[in-house]
Amino acid sequence: MSDDRISEGNISRAELAELAVLFDQFEFAFDPLSLAARESESTFDDLVLSLFEERVKPNHPALPLHIFHSKIRSLCRAYLRKGTI
């Protein structure tokens, strides 16, 4: 595995950064019901589903989507705590 990949879900650092930006836009939105926050959440969910379908499900068919989704959210929180964006 190359250095720019993260073992959890086999996603790249660039993908994690993109997901963290989207996560930040809806999770910590002043108005979580705003159109911008809802669109960010929808885009985040779509990207997580795409990563799951393309990379995780073929190699780990017993792993449910909701577990992968929760792990990605945790990774985003950790990424944001580090202040990398």
**How confident is the model over 15-25, as pLDDT tens digits?**
999 999 999 99
User: pTM here?
Assistant: 0.85
71 within 8 A of 3, measured Cβ to Cβ: no
DSSP result, 33-64: TSHHHHHHHHHHHHHHHHHIIIIITTT-TTS-
CB atoms within 10 A of CB 52: 21
CA distances from 26 to 11, 21, 44, 57 (A): 21, 9, 9, 26
**How confident is the model over 35-60, as pLDDT tens digits?**
999 999 999 999 999 999 999 899 88
